[in-house]
């Protein structure tokens, strides 16, 4: 389970909308599955079909996370035209990165007026949906 504030959920959705037509991406960090900070990270691909976090921005975020004694809890990105479910490419890349314990959140703007956020645990054994509690 991942616990995020309503404000954070709204800001992730805003990020996804702001970056249309491209996919957005970002990082959620905190402790014990409670998100305490979130960061927009530029999509270095600048593409509506894929994302790659800007490496310099990623390192800067990771520095802040470590300074606060937090952990990266999740990576997020948007799907502008498809459902909030990891694509084959998303799964392949998640397995390559293999950030231990990190979840993957997807925001679907398939229906822009009704965005959907879902979370997943992606491992070599498969893709499992996790509960996201919005408080």
Predicted pLDDT of residue 79: 96
**Can you spell out the DSSP letters for 38-89?**
EEEE-BTT--SS---B-HHHHHHHHHHHHHTT-EEEEEEEEESSS-SS--HH
Domain 2-134 has CATH 3.40.30.10: no
Predicted pLDDT of residue 124: 87
pLDDT in tens, 88-107: 999 988 888 768 789 999 99
Please state the pTM of the whole predicted model: 0.94
Range in 10-14, 33-37, 64-68, 110-114 the model is least confident about: 110-114
Which residues have CB under 8 Å from 50's CB, separation 6+? 23, 89
**Is the confidence at residue 38, as pLDDT, over 90?**
yes
Q: Of 55, 29, 26, which Cα lies nearest the Cα of 117?
A: 26
Task: Return phi, psi of residue 5, to 5°.
Answer: -75, 160
Task: Report the percent of the chain where pLDDT is more than 90.
Answer: 88
Residue 29 CB coordination number (10 Å)? 21
- Quick check: helix, strand or coil at residue 127? strand
């Amino acid at each position: 389970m991942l616990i995020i504030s309503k404000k954070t959920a709204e800001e992730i959705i805003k990020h996804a909308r702001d970056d249309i037509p491209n996919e957005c991406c970002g990082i959620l960090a905190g402790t014990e599955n409670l998100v305490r900070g979130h960061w927009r990270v530029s999509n270095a691909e600048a593409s509506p079909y894929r994302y790659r976090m800007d490496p310099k921005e990623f390192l800067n975020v990771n520095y802040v996370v470590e300074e606060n004694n937090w952990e990266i809890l999740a990576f997020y990105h948007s799907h502008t035209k498809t459902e909030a479910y990891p694509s084959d490419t998303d799964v392949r890349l998640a397995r390559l990165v293999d950030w231990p314990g990190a979840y993957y959140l997807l925001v679907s703007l398939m229906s822009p007026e009704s965005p959907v956020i879902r979370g997943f645990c992606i491992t070599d054994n498969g893709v499992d949906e996790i509960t996201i509690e919005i408080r």
